[in-house]
């Protein structure tokens, strides 16, 4: 059985926490920041958890399952 290669983009995008959850950075934080309220940018700084329907696919891209 050959080894499963990790998807290169997925390993840069997602992180698996110690408890097994998958997190990712939120979008809308790259440019055009002056038009966004500070409250919104502070909220977007935090990492978000991958939603339940996408967990299985994300783990497969990371080569975990």
Under DSSP, the state recorded for 22 is E
**25 belongs to a structural domain:** yes
Distance, in Å, from the CA atom of 54 to the CA atom of 17, rounded to the nearest integer, reads 16
The span from the CA of 56 to the CA of 63, in Å, is 11
Asked if residue 1 belongs to a domain, the reply is: no
The total number of structural domains in the chain stands at 1
Assign residue 56 the CATH number of its domain. Answer: 4.10.410.60
Per residue of the chain (65 residues), what is the pLDDT tens digit? 888 899 999 999 999 999 999 999 999 999 999 999 999 999 999 999 999 999 999 999 999 87
Phi/psi for 2 (5° steps) reads -75, 160
**pTM to 2 decimal places:** 0.80
55 inside domain: yes
């Amino acid at each position: 059985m050959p080894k499963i290669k990790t998807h290169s983009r997925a390993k840069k995008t997602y992180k698996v926490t110690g408890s097994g959850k998958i997190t990712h950075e939120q979008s809308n934080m790259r440019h055009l920041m002056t038009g966004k309220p500070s409250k919104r940018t502070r909220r977007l700084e935090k990492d978000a958890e991958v939603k339940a329907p996408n967990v299985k696919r994300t783990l497969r891209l990371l080569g975990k399952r």
